[in-house]
Amino acid sequence: MPVKLLESREIYSGELALRKDRFVLNGREVEKEILEHRPSVGIVAVSGDSVILVVQYRRAAGRTLLEIPAGKIEDGETPEQAALREMDEEIGCSGDLKPLMQWYLAPGYDTELMHVFVATNLKKIRNRRQMDDDENIVVKKVKLKAAVKKCLNGQIQDCKSVAALLAYYSKPV
């Protein structure tokens, strides 16, 4: 589709950042507010017939959720480096990574593109990194089949975790 950007201006910049774009789409002028978010990683961490999940309090949801390990890609990191750092911080493991998928989480208004990896040959890390300030994580090892069941019966209410676990279950890499 023919798109012409007329103006892009910052509205807010803090932990999160907002901008407003004015552009012409198919001959019509449109204004749109956009949340600028770093690209991120998510990891299906496989240990035998199980996967390693995390339980954490999510202020935006107002509750505790069961999810795959995930997080932002920091300055200067490749997606693989970010995935290994997040695994270290959240589940205390390293492993071998293979790309599974990539997707936007909320492309209607959010730039976040998530790279999803499968991690195998997990190894415990002895000297773990400091966790991020707001991370408050309980690690859970769950049989893959049980995790898939939790995706389908509503016990996992995080979209990226449902998508990643069902994709891995359909197509192990």
Alpha carbons 166 and 113: distance in angstroms, whole number? 19
**Residue 137 CB, nearest approach to a copy of itself (Å):** 11
CB of 153 to a copy of itself, least distance (A): 9
Stretch in the footprint of a copy of itself (CB under 8 A) among 18-26, 45-53, 76-84, 90-98: 18-26
Are 103 and 28 spatial neighbours (Cβ–Cβ below 8 Å)? no
Pairing between β-strand 50-58 and β-strand 63-67 as defined by DSSP bridges: antiparallel
- Kindly tell me which of 52 and 54 has the beta carbon lying closer to a copy of itself: 54
User: Taking a C-beta distance cutoff of 8 angstroms, is the pair 111, 34 a contact?
Assistant: yes
Angle among Cα 55, 52, 116 to the nearest 5 degrees reads 95
User: How far from the centroid of its chain's Cα atoms is residue 104's Cα?
Assistant: 9
Q: Is 128 in the site for a copy of itself (CB under 8 A)?
A: no
The CA radius of gyration of the chain, in Å to the nearest whole number, is 18
| Residue among 121 and 134 whose Cβ is closer to a copy of itself | 134
Site string for a copy of itself, 81-120 (x = CB under 8 A): --------------------xxxxxxxxxxxxxx------
Residue 26 contacts residue 1 (beta carbons within 8 Å): yes
**Residues between 21 and 60 with contacts to a copy of itself, criterion CB under 8 A:** 21, 23, 25-26, 30, 32-35, 37, 57-60
The residue type found at 52 is I
Residues forming the site for a copy of itself (CB under 8 A): 1, 3, 11-12, 14-16, 18, 20-21, 23, 25-26, 30, 32-35, 37, 57-61, 64-65, 67, 70, 101-114, 133-134, 136, 148, 151-152, 154, 156-160, 162-163, 166-167, 170-171
